[in-house]
Structure 1
């Protein structure tokens, strides 16, 4: 019962923290529009950049926890899988910035910086888990809850807009299968 309670508690805590960040930090989604406190000082493109940055935090946390337990193969597999899906995200940021008139080098640099939150969150996750294995189930379930919140609240609505639900669902299944393969083959 204690293990189940920890899994539930960590998952709820992870989702709650990302939900709070979602409410407190101004950002924008393509189909959902503005979220968080309104800020007239921020250009709309920066609200999108902030949204991508927010959603990168739980990914970095998950990778950090994976490495923090000392299982280099599992951490590497997770980092590789998340890194693969980060490429189109970075491209989306760079393309949006280019469309807003930013120079190529500037857009590329900003897109790269949106991913900087991942190694920072990763270090925090690895450090927390390395302090005590008691923290491990909390860290893993916290990261899971944060990622589930992001997927449900942001990614699925974005990918299912404009009648592309079938294609995005197929893409999600392919991504899941690739991650399972990597986990079984290299984990």
Structure 2
């Protein structure tokens, strides 16, 4: 199996992890899911994303291309996500509606919000396989899949909270992760056929993920009285991923 196919499959599996995380909503009653649980799950996911960004994307980008290429890539990645965020209409569960005006149903605005979030994650997996260092690629894919599990559950819980039934909540949570293999295929194709793009692409994906973490994930966990617990969950997620990255990366 060549690294392009492997990268695509890895990003597909990582994306499907949102569905794995959403499975519990099919079996438990609505009252079993609280805002506190959702904030803890998102906090943990943010910590995993931060560690994966730092150790699996930005550090290799600096090693390959130097610090200034990494700086440029991070800035470009953040600006691209900022532009997309302002143009594409979407809605967050806590922060409300953003982007342009639209007549889309609210559920599709939620799906678009998570899709914007997930695309750079898939691209990060693809770019990491572009080095043909399978170990590094698998580490990033594991990190993204690991954080997608609590994220998928948090999305499903939020959908139940705004009135969707358990089956619909599970289906939409799974759907939001399926954009990741598209990002993965794009990332690995770019770095495979344009080798010079590799360090820039890793930094760009890292910058996009940093933007998502700071602009969307963390704020979603700080609207209620659970912000301190969410902060500790973020630190635990960061420590878990940092440990896994150094043991197996």
TM-score higher than 0.5: yes
Flag the 1:96–1:157 CA change in 2: closer, same or farther, 3 A. Answer: closer
Contact 1:45/1:96 (8 A) holds in 2: no
Contact 2:93/2:158 (8 A) holds in 1: no
Pick one of 85, 101, 104 that aligns with 1:38: 101
Pick one of 135, 144, 151 that aligns with 2:206: 144
Contact 1:14/1:141 (8 A) holds in 2: yes
Contact 1:56/1:115 (8 A) holds in 2: yes
Q: Distance in 1 between matches of 2:183 and 2:220?
A: 24
Match of 1:26 in 2: 89
Q: Distance in 2 between matches of 1:121 and 1:153?
A: 20
**What is the SS of the residue equivalent to 1:171?**
helix
Question: 161-170 vs 15-24, which deviates more?
Answer: 161-170
Q: Which has the higher contact order (CA 8 A, sep 6+)?
A: 2
CA shift, 1:163, in A, is 2.5
Encode CA deviations 1:9-68: one digit per residue, 9 max, x unaligned: 1111100111111011111112211100122x2222321121111100111111111111
Q: Distance in 2 between matches of 1:174 and 1:87?
A: 15
Q: Distance in 2 between matches of 1:53 and 1:156?
A: 17
Contact 1:128/1:135 (8 A) holds in 2: yes
Match of 1:13 in 2: 76
User: Residues 95-134 of structure 1: matches in 2 within 5 Å?
Assistant: 95-98=157-160, 99-102=162-165, 104=167, 106-134=168-196
Encode CA deviations 1:108-151: one digit per residue, 9 max, x unaligned: 33322211111110111111111233111111110111011111
Pick one of 115, 125, 150 that aligns with 1:88: 150
CA shift, 1:103, in A, is 6.2
Encode CA deviations 1:72-91: one digit per residue, 9 max, x unaligned: 11111211121111122222
User: Residues 69-80 of structure 1: matches in 2 within 5 Å?
Assistant: 69-80=131-142
**What is the SS of the residue equivalent to 1:128?**
helix
Q: Distance in 2 between matches of 1:160 and 1:97?
A: 18
Count of residue pairs brought into register by the alignment: 184
Instruction: List runs of 5+ in structure 1 lacking aligned partners.
Output: none
Pick one of 217, 220, 227 that aligns with 1:165: 227
Q: TM-score, normalised by structure 1?
A: 0.90
Pick one of 63, 68, 81 that aligns with 2:125: 63
Instruction: List runs of 5+ in structure 2 lacking aligned partners.
Output: 1-64
Q: Distance in 2 between matches of 1:79 and 1:4?
A: 24
